[in-house]
Structures are given as C-alpha cells and as structure tokens.
C-alpha cells in the first residue's frame, strides 16, 4: 500500500486534486484502523423516528420525481432506441467505470483483479471501438465490479445510518463519503483530453439512467405489490446489504 500511495502522489494530476487525493486516502486509512471485513451494511443500521420522517419525505419526493420525469424518459429510451444500440451504449458507459474498478481493486489488495480491469479497459477502448463492443468479454475476460464504498466496507469502516437522498435514493454516510471520494480518485481525472471532472459527472449520470432502465420492471412490480413501498424498499436494501458480499461485486451499483 505505501508503494501505491507513492506512485499516486507522483502522477501529473493538478496540485489541488493531488492534495485532495492524499487527504482522502489518509483520512480513509485512519478510519479503517487496521480492521478488515466484507460486511457491507452494519447489523442494526437503520433510521430512528426523526430520521425516518425525513427519509419518508425524501422518498416521497423521489417517487414523484421518478414517475413524472425519470420513468417517462426511460420508457421513451427503450421504445425508440434499438436493442443493439442500447447494448452498445451500455458497454460504452460501463467501460468508463473500469478505471475506478482498477483503483479500488488495488486498494483492496487484489492486484490480479485490478490488472483484469485495466486489460478490459485497454482492449475495449481500442479493439472494442471505444467500449461500444465488449471485446474483452468475448474472449473470456468478464467484468467484475466494485466501488470505493465496498473498499471501505472491506477495511471495516461502518456504514452508519440508513439515509434516503434526494434523487439518488437509499444510501449511508459511508456511501456518501465513498461516492465523493471515488470522483476524486477516478483515474479519468488524470487525462486532460477527457476534461476529467465533466467526463466523470457525465458517466455517473449516464450510469444512473441506464440502471433505472434495467430495474424498470422490478420497480413497477414493487410499487404494485407493496402496501408501504418505503418500508419495503428499506427492508430489501438492508436485507441485501447486511450479508457479507464478494469483494468483486458492488451491490449498490450492480446492474
């Protein structure tokens, strides 16, 4: 790990971004305290009465925003964009996530998986027409996903309370910190031609949109079958994330 920090500090990233990266990594190591676990969500993590009231209000806003804005856009996307083109767009967007998998697998101590993510990114960006074709998957190099949130969980950093964020949905203090940190640590920031911050932001929005399309059917069923959809979503979220998870899968971001 010291070698990783040294290499990261010597990159040609802008001074402010480099400083933020050092602060983030050092703060994360301090929080970790030498612990290691793969439990994604802490036992008993929930929301108390006051927090639940705020969460329910935010959840109601998210539901209304989704029905009025997000769902109609997703339906139009599915209706008017051919399957093959949608698959290519999926491949392109998820290929841009490979650099973050590379970094997080390194931070988790999995050099082999980090190398695989690097190989996928290089192959798909070149031979896969900038990622529109999953060439790496075609030759057996399948994608494994992870995130900085899962890295923190692996190091034993507690998730904190269950929180519902506007637009973004279920989360936790650790995930909020991790999402911000992942944007700072993203290797795409180091490529001037990509206008790092703008590219990372665009990729994040596009990834969120694609995931909304992918869960459309499940969400519709959940709404139809649940008497209290807030409680149902919360239960499913905590139930799923209270189990130990494989380090190569980010449950919060899985398709």
Per-10-residue mean pLDDT of the chain, 255 residues long, equals: 44 49 47 46 62 95 94 92 94 92 92 96 96 96 90 87 93 91 79 70 84 85 89 83 51 40
**Integer distance in angstroms from the first to the last C-alpha of the chain?**
30
Residue 117, pLDDT score: 96
Residue that the structure tokens 């500090």 belong to: 9
Residue 198, pLDDT score: 77
**Helices assigned H by DSSP within the chain:** 2-9, 15-32, 49-65, 71-80, 83-95, 98-107, 111-126, 135-138, 148-154, 173-185, 196-214, 216-225, 229-241
The span from the CA of 100 to the CA of 227, in Å, is 38
Which residues lie across from 170 on neighbouring strands? 164
Residue-wise burial string across 58-73, b where 16 or more C-beta atoms lie within 10 A, e elsewhere: bbeebeeebeeebbee
Inter-residue contact 252 to 149 (CB < 8 Å): yes
Q: What one-character-per-residue DSSP string does 163-217 give?
A: EEETTTEEE-HHHHHHHHHHHHH-GGGG-GGGTHHHHHHHHHHHHHHHHHHHTHH
Which residues lie across from 169 on neighbouring strands? 165
Inter-residue contact 36 to 154 (CB < 8 Å): yes
Residue 65, pLDDT score: 95
Residue 4, pLDDT score: 42
Q: Tell me the residue length of the chain.
A: 255
Pair of tokens at residue 58: 């935010």
- What SS3 state is found at 244? strand
Is 126 exposed, middle or buried (CB count within 10 Å of its CB: 0-12, 13-18, 19+)? exposed
Closest CA to 162 of 52, 53, 32: 52
Pair of tokens at residue 169: 């949905």
Residue 95, pLDDT score: 94
Q: Which residues contact 23 (CB under 8 A, 6 or more apart)?
A: none
Pair of tokens at residue 63: 């539901």
Closest CA to 152 of 10, 57, 31, 4: 31
């Amino acid at each position: 790990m010291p070698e990783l920090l040294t290499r990261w500090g010597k990159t040609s990233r802008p001074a402010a971004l480099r400083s933020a990266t050092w602060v983030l990594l050092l703060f994360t190591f301090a929080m970790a305290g030498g612990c290691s676990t793969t439990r994604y969500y802490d036992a008993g993590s929930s929301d108390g009465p006051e927090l639940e009231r705020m969460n329910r209000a935010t959840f109601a806003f998210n539901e209304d925003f989704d029905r009025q804005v997000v769902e109609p856009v997703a339906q139009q996307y599915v209706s008017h964009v051919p399957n093959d083109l949608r698959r290519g767009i999926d491949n392109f967007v998820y290929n841009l996530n490979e650099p973050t998998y590379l970094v997080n697998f390194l931070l988790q101590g999995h050099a082999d998986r980090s190398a695989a993510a690097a190989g996928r990114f290089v192959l798909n960006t070149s031979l896969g027409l900038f990622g529109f074709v999953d060439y790496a998957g075609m030759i057996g190099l399948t994608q494994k996903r992870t995130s900085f949130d899962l890295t923190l969980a692996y190091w034993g950093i507690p998730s904190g309370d269950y929180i519902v964020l506007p637009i973004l949905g279920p989360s936790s203090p650790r995930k909020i910190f991790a999402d911000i940190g992942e944007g700072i640590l993203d290797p795409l920031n180091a490529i001037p031609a990509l206008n790092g911050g703008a590219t990372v932001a665009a990729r994040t929005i596009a990834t969120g949109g694609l995931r909304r399309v992918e869960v459309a059917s499940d969400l519709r069923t959940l709404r139809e079958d649940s008497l209290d959809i807030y409680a149902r979503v919360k239960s499913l979220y905590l139930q799923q994330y209270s189990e130990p998870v494989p380090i190569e899968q980010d449950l919060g971001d899985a398709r």
